[in-house]
Amino acid sequence: MIVRVKVAMASSTWSFHPGQLVEVPTEVAKAWREAGLAEKPNETKPIVIDARTLVPTAERPRDDGDGEDEEDDEG
């Protein structure tokens, strides 16, 4: 579903700015619209961004702050 972003949003892998048209999964679009983060646009041609890679915070790997990739940590 295409939405117009109303506020700046970012993660470690993507960022959106106010006014940007993006296509996201329907359930994400509905949640963002209900929360006031996005709205239904008049335009139908979005800037194409693959937002299917959005990952809920609880499922993201956590950085332990040591400056190293987690997969490189041993023992």
Asked if 21 and 4 count as a contact pair (C-beta separation under 8 A), the reply is: yes
Q: What is the pLDDT of residues 14-73, one digit of tens each?
A: 889 898 888 889 999 999 999 999 999 886 665 555 566 555 555 555 566 666 655 555
Asked if 22 and 2 count as a contact pair (C-beta separation under 8 A), the reply is: yes
Maximum distance among all alpha carbons in the chain? 54
Which is more confidently placed, 68 or 8?
8
